Chains A and B, each alone.
Chain A
Amino acid sequence: MNKRRLVLEDGTVMDGIGFGYQGEVNGEMIFNTGMTGYEHVLSDPSYCGQLVVMTSPKISTNGINQSDCVSSYMNGLIVKDYGNSPNRSQDAKDLNSFLLDQQIPGLANIDTRMLTKHIRQFGTLKGSIVDADTPIDMTIKKLKSVKDSSDHVQKVSTQKPYVIPGKGANIVIIDLGMKHSILKELTARDCQVTVVPYNYSADQILQLKPDGILISSGPGNPKNLPETIATIQQLPRHIPVFGIGLGHQVMALALGADTEKMLNGHHGNNYPVKDLLKQKSYMTSQNHLYSVSRNSLRNTDLEITHIGLNEDSIEGLRHKSYSYFSVQFQPEGKPGPEDMHYLYDEFLIKIQHHQAKNEEDVYAEKY
């Protein structure tokens, strides 16, 4: 057995058994409460740089389906137990070899409930997965000296633009760490999609003549993305823009609101959100550590469209006059509920309206 341990910056030490990659690693501690879809968690770039604790006691009972999970950006995975999935299907991998391939350390045999409670109480501490014989003092010292990294999006965003052809609306996705499933939602609706890097300029985007722009979810602090914020500010107001997750935060910043770091953030599949326009609540899948501050909305043209029922958090915004709207949660699920799929439809409806209106305008100008 491979004895390894988790050391937190506040001195907490938990012994476990290492699996996957055996290197030393540190990161921000967060916990995810989802009971299904750990593959989607693994592959979601939003977890870049984090040590993810799964509260579900057994992860990977049936192996990793390669189509759900190609690569992972998280720094480490901490579980109570994981399966070696002896009966996975042929195209599936077991978790241990996946993490090994991805060079991600795993730590098992941890009292994850105890750890979760600790994180809940003390916020997102930094932690490190090390070998059992590594001196604890040294590890803590190291952890304290580690600076919050600000380049997560740079790491996970696409380097070059690419196109997925389609017959429908022409959509540009600004990739801040896009989940593949966001792309799928649009291609399933026949869109022509161009995925562009986080630092693509407004001009470059407009050259693509988009009918609509989607700012994707992604990892880290939105304030680390001044280029993206500037881009959004330079976009013409008439093109519909849809922000998701980090994209929602970046949009809010661009439109004059402020964001703040949360104590624990939201990571899981069971966050109830009320759609204030429909006056109806739904379950959502979320993973974010930052949120838009309510007070900062006062002097903006943004209005709240969605609130979280657990903590009255801001979960969705729209611009009072532009066709801009955004949500903090992941309407595509994967993992998690697909209750708010309709937001993608609404995005396309907005585009249609806008196109129709444009035609009218053109007509009016002509005659």
Chain B
Amino acid sequence: MKSTGKVIGIVSNLVTVRTDGPVAENELCYIDLDGTRLLAEVIKVSGDKASVQVFESTRGLRGGDSVEFEGRMLEATLGPGLLSSVYDGLQNNLATMKDVFLKRGEYTDPLDHEKLWDFTPIAAASDKVKAGDWLGEVKEGWLPHKIMVPFSFKGEYTVKKVVPAGQYNIDTVIATLVNEDGEDVPVTMTQKWPVKVAIKAYTEKPRPNKIMETGVRVIDTFNPIAEGGTGFIPGPFGCGKTVLQHAIAKQGEADVIVMAACGERANEVVEIFTEFPELVDPHTGRKLMERTTIICNTSNMPVAAREASVYTAMTICEYYRAMGLRCLLLADSTSRWAQALREMSNRMEELPGADAFPVDLSAIISNFYARAGMVVLNNGKTGAITFIGTVSPAGGNLKEPVTESTKKAARCFYALEQNRADQKRYPAVNPIDSYSKYLEYPEIIEYLDEKIEKGWVEKVSKAKNIVRRGKEAMDQINILGDDGVPMSYHESFWKSEMIDFVILQQDAFDAVDSITPLSRQKFMLDFVLDICAHEFKFDNYEQCRDYFKTLINLLRQMNYSEFESADFRKYQTEITKHLSDNVQ
């Protein structure tokens, strides 16, 4: 029997309920407000009092209103049709809601129950299977969407029957399994899973061993992220966090992209679902929207659902990972998620940690990041979730709890810098402070040796050194003046400017420059490093400046031209000539 209760306290969206039976932490309940059912989640229990966070506005709620507990946690509905959908943080389908305004208590079904899918069986009668094993497959767009043994199934099952190939809706029983007690268990194409629990239907979680190409040079060349890796992008407002994330979403080498717009601007989400249906995935030639799911809980939507949104997004990724697919999860912004935690902790009058955030913030963040990763499935195939979160540090100061906690959890750090943004040097990723821990992984170094060329990582650190030396030279020039330093300072400053303008900076709005495949990145890095190795001779610093300005302009024209096109070659020849004009 379900427990029930009565409302006895209300502060904003935190409601206290006196219960008449057992309740579980994170259990869902519905609060009845004159016939409108408001969904809420238990976040604390003390005696017979449960504190619940309501996923809706609590306006009009009264003491004494009745509450019904659901006996389940917040769950995601998983099945074919998740891709190209736009959901809120609780996985309500926003597209099927009728009103222009969100209506309180209106919950819509995440999946289409009528649509027929072309099903092909994979498992056969008498196969032994367990949670996460593949029973069959449907085509979701171009992706092979596996129908799996539900993750909640414990122990081993024997397949009794799988339906023959044909068209079925998601509620059709496509397989009957027999459990260890000899009972028949039906399986449909859809299943539910509690979002705050990680799906562990895999045999092991090895270290990532390859990189995920993003087409963004400052990432791929300088600080690559691994497939199944984690990274974060902190930066003050106006530094291009969202543009960079959208670029990664458009170009990332992944089968499935889940974008969690968590407490950010609604117009940014509008941009995604206006543009993505038109844009083409550079890897498959299909429309971007076909591989994308949007979880959108914008800043004006209820705060508690904002917290849920990142978990919903992660669960959907874990579902696709169990099919052996490569998923990319982008969450913008994890700071808004942390703030949602802070608001609730505050209302519960918990003792606060730094900046009034809950004391377990760091643990919550690292647990969440730990759900990403590459896994080996029961059948030996691999799947991966690469996770990149943005962080919006208060006042742009990176010494704040969310940034610090995230830094402990994520392996790649892409620091967006106000100064670079002010100079319109986009993406404004600071080349010196940012890092990718994956460059230290022997398996990644080996992978890059093979994929790009032997010694690639050393080459990259050589380029980083040039940038670092250039910055030091610039500091000296600023202190001592243009004439107060030796010519070599100017030369090393301009070499670093060249790497900055040609490799690090990239025009996200230019059709050609916005996406640079690895092969082209290699070519350009080699080309620029060759120039850096050139022995120059300058009479004065103005000559040096003008010389490099011309060089940089030509190199940028190369970036704007199709790789190895006639224009590209033309600029390359001009540069070679320009170089031969300056010999010692």
Please indicate whether A and B come from the same complex rather than being unrelated chains: no
Chain B positions near chain A (C-beta within 8 angstroms):
none
Chain A positions near chain B (C-beta within 8 angstroms):
none
